[in-house]
Amino acid sequence: MAVPKRKVSHSRKMKRRSSVWKLENPTNIVKCPQCGEYNRAYRVCKACGYYKGVEVIAKSEPVQK
């Protein structure tokens, strides 16, 4: 059975595991043609509720006091 001869240092262990914690950049960010808000491509805009010029989700205006 293979057993390590020496203790693996903290820095060596963290170098080996470093690729696990890398975050990916969302590459498909586009502007909404209706409101100009940035969102992911091929998805309904969270700000206005439109997708391809059609209102998919009805957004109500906030009530002003």
User: pLDDT tens across 6-64, in order?
Assistant: 999 999 998 888 877 777 777 789 999 889 999 988 999 988 889 988 888 887 766 66
Pairwise CA distance, residues 8 & 14, whole Å: 10
Residue 16 has what pLDDT? Answer: 85
pLDDT for position 7: 95
Predicted TM-score (pTM) of this structure: 0.50
Predicted pLDDT of residue 59: 75
Find the angle CA(44)-CA(47)-CA(49) to the nearest 5 degrees. Answer: 40
The CA-atom distances, in angstroms, between 29 and each of 33, 41, 50, 59, 61 are 13, 6, 16, 22, 25
Q: What is the pLDDT of residue 63?
A: 62
Residue pair 52/39 in contact by the 8 Å Cβ criterion: no
